[in-house]
Structures are given as C-alpha cells and as structure tokens.
Amino acid sequence: MMGPDSPGVNKGAMTSEDYIPAALRRLWRMPESSRLGRPAALDVDLIVAAAVEIADRDGLGGVTIPKVAKSLGFTGMSLYRHVGSKDELLTLMADAASGTPPDLDTDDWREGLRDWAFALRAVSWRRPWLTRVPASGPPSGPNQIAWMEAGLAILARTRLDWAHKVGILTLINGYVVQWVRQYSELAEGRAAEGRGQADAERDYGRALVRLVDPGRFPETARLFASALFETLPSDTPDATIADADFSLGLELILDGVAVRVERS
C-alpha cells in the first residue's frame, strides 16, 4: 500500500482533501470533483431533509434508504451515489437536525453550562429520535462542532485543561441524551393511560408503599412512605415537573464540576 511518503507519489499534487474521508467531506458539504453534464437532480441536502422529515413524522425506525428514496421520487441505488450507507445518513441527519447553538455569552461558567444543557435538551425534546441515533464516533459535523465550540468557549473562563473540558461536555451531553430518552418513553406511557406526571407519580408511590416490604427493603420502604410522591398538585404542568427533575440532576453534575474548577 502506498502512502504519502512512498516512492512515486507526487507529494506536490496532494492536498488536505486527500486526508479527509469521503463521509466527512459530505458531512461538511465539501464540493466533489466537477462533473460534466447537467447539475444532479439529487444531492446530500435534499436527501437529509427528506430523511429528517420522515424521522420527525415516524421516528428513527421509520427512516430507511428505500423510503427516503421513494419520498424523493428516486430509487435506493440513486441515494447511494450521494450517501455511502444508512449509518452515514443517520450521522448526516443528526448533525443537520441539531442546528446551531444559541448565543450563550456569559461570564459565569456555571450559568453558561446550565444554559448550554437546557439548549441541548430543547433540541432533543423537539426531536426525541435524535437520542436514538447511534454514536458512531466523536462530534464531527459542522453543527455538532458549533455546539462543542459554544461549550468550550464557556469553559475557557476556567483553568481546566483540555481533557477536563471535553470530559465535562461529554458528561453533560450524555446526561441530556439519557434524560430526554427516558422522559420521552415515560411520557408515551402516561399518554397511553391518559395521565399527567403528577398523578402518575402519586399513584406509583401509593402502590409501591403497599408492596415494598420494610424488612427486606428498609430504605426503599422509607422512601415510599415519605411525602415525596404526594407533594405535587394534580394540575401541575408536566413541563414544570420536567424542568425541576432535569435541573436536579444537572445541578449535581455542576456541583462536581465546581469542585474541579476550584482545584484547578
């Protein structure tokens, strides 16, 4: 196999694009080599837009190459001239659907990270299917890099090193993804039963307090015997409860970050 230093390779003819995989070139919409003839009737942007529309309507499971192709009036093989695989299409969709972060300019790193996390949650809350896209690697698309840049800019006000900064953003992003995924699943279950979150939590506590044996599960029995599941009025909006639940976990993470920031 010949590399850039192999005999016979014209190094002067090589460019930075020679080291960028085709999938990444498509993700960043780098122009392909010019082709003779009429402009293509199909391109990456059209394919991704159609796939996102299907995911918004039918969920991630509804996205298939044949279905996307049919919605555009093409064959599946036509799509493969622009998208290398189903996995690549999912990566393209996730980056496009993530959009760009809002302006998070603040001198307070904690406030900034809090806003960053809530902004991320808002994106996934609108499109829960985003939390189902397999993570095939670190952030690599332009929109995902924009979110990373926003987070790093917030942490630039600390003395943390790069490893800690990346670790913090990864941790918060993971928390957002897991929280939205779990909340969406529970919300679907409550919707099927026609109940709000306050009523569901109250009924859950009342049922489990009768089932949990204090001799076997002493601490859990004390939990269900407490007033925790009875404190919210039935008319409490689900969104209000969701914000409080999300904030609780997020603040615990930020408390840990604060300790590391102080040590640095």
CB atoms inside a 10 Å sphere around CB 27: 22
DSSP secondary-structure letter at 73? T
Residue 116: what residue type? Answer: W
Tell me how far apart the alpha carbons of residues 30 and 231 are, in angstroms, rounded to a whole number.
55
Q: pLDDT value at position 41?
A: 83
Q: What is the mean pLDDT of the chain?
A: 90
For residues 257 and 159, what is the distance between their CA atoms, to the nearest angstrom? 12
Whole-model pTM above 0.85? yes
Q: Would you say the C-alpha torsion 101, 103, 107, 112 has a positive or negative sign?
A: negative
The tens digit of pLDDT for each residue in 148-204 reads 999 999 999 999 999 999 999 999 999 999 999 999 999 999 999 989 999 999 999
- Give one DSSP letter per residue of 190-218, joined into a string: HHHHT--HHHHHHHHHHHHHHHS-TTTSH
Structure tokens at 138: 């670190």
Residue 3, classed as helix, strand or coil, is coil
pLDDT band at residue 6, thresholds of 50, 70 and 90? Answer: very low
Q: Alpha-carbon distance 200 to 242, whole Å?
A: 13
* Contacting residues for 169 by C-beta, under 8 A, at least 6 apart: 148, 151, 152, 155
Contact 125, 250 (CB under 8 A): no
Query: Would the pLDDT of 73 be above 80?
Result: yes
Q: How far apart are CA 175 and CA 173, in angstroms?
A: 5
Query: Of 148, 150, 51, 54, which Cα lies nearest the Cα of 91?
Result: 51
Cα 200 from chain centroid? 27
pLDDT for the residue 205: 95
Residue 254 neighbours by CB under 8 Å, 6+ apart? 110, 113, 114
pLDDT, position 135: 86
Rounded Cα distance, 193 and 200, in Å:
9
User: Distance between CA atoms of 258 and 145, rounded to whole angstroms?
Assistant: 24
